[in-house]
A and B are shown apart, each in its own frame.
Chain A
């Protein structure tokens, strides 16, 4: 099973700041990585797929990068609605696995 480790567990920033979230895989997953955003009481929504492609309707301030084992999600300038939990997910091998999440909170 491929283990995804997200860091940091919690990130405290202010609106307007740049956020960089990390996801590291226990073995190479090439570019088979997605990022999701989840707000309290809501279902996750897809932000980024294939490591760097923005999903439909996702603002340009969200970007993804990386390949192999190291990936990043960057939010260029935080908006109030961006404070949420973010998960990465790999889909190169069964079972599909998720990272444990990064909580992005308002400083």
Chain B
């Protein structure tokens, strides 16, 4: 059974930093691209970042480019999202998601909540 378990969310002040983790199990982690998708309170889904299976290729939404960094440790079956320069508009539930097929998300974690507020 595929499981994705996010952690690391919390309350942080504007301008602060936070690192999210996503522990994966139930599939061969090193052979699948992974993504982060966020959802602001009461709003829709927004893709944030993606990383290839090897970790060599990464992509970012314009809204987080230069502030967020995605990485993975295939030996630990873990995906990360380093977030710096956090803003109020980064407040959201952050989901990690496994990429399926040609680019959809076939499994999602339960999410970790990031709140940026003073």
Interface residues of A (CB under 8 A from B): 32, 34, 36, 38, 42-46, 49-50, 55, 87, 89, 91-92, 94-101
Q: Is the CB of B109 within 8 A of A95?
A: no
In the assembly, what is the distance between CA of A50 and CA of B104, in Å? 8
A49 contact set on B, CB distance < 8 A: 100-101, 104, 106
Does B29 sit within 8 A of A, measured CB to CB? no
> What are 30 of the A-B contact pairs (CB < 8 Å)?
A32-B102, A34-B104, A43-B95, A43-B109, A43-B111, A44-B95, A44-B105, A44-B108, A45-B108, A46-B104, A46-B106, A46-B107, A49-B101, A49-B104, A49-B106, A50-B101, A50-B102, A50-B104, A89-B45, A89-B105, A91-B104, A92-B103, A94-B59, A95-B47, A95-B59, A95-B62, A96-B103, A97-B47, A98-B45, A101-B44
Interface residues of B (CB under 8 A from A): 35, 44-47, 50, 59, 61-62, 95, 100-111
In the assembly, what is the distance between CA of A55 and CA of B107, in Å? 11
Q: Is the CB of B105 within 8 A of A98?
A: no
**Chain B interface main SS type:** strand
In the assembly, what is the distance between CA of A64 and CA of B11, in Å? 40
| Partner of A91 from B62, B95, B102 at Cβ < 8 Å | B102
Q: Is the CB of B44 within 8 A of A100?
A: yes
Q: Is the CB of B100 within 8 A of A46?
A: yes
In the assembly, what is the distance between CA of A93 and CA of B104, in Å? 12
A55 contact set on B, CB distance < 8 A: 106
In the assembly, what is the distance between CA of A30 and CA of B1, in Å? 31
In the assembly, what is the distance between CA of A14 and CA of B92, in Å? 32
Q: A46-B104, A49-B101, A49-B104 are in contact. Are A99 and B44 (CB under 8 A)?
A: yes
Give chain B nearest CB distance to A57 CB in angstroms.
11
B50 contact set on A, CB distance < 8 A: 96
Give chain B nearest CB distance to A81 CB in angstroms.
18
B107 contact set on A, CB distance < 8 A: 46
In the assembly, what is the distance between CA of A26 and CA of B72, in Å? 33
Q: For residue A98, which residue of chain B has the nearest CB?
A: B45
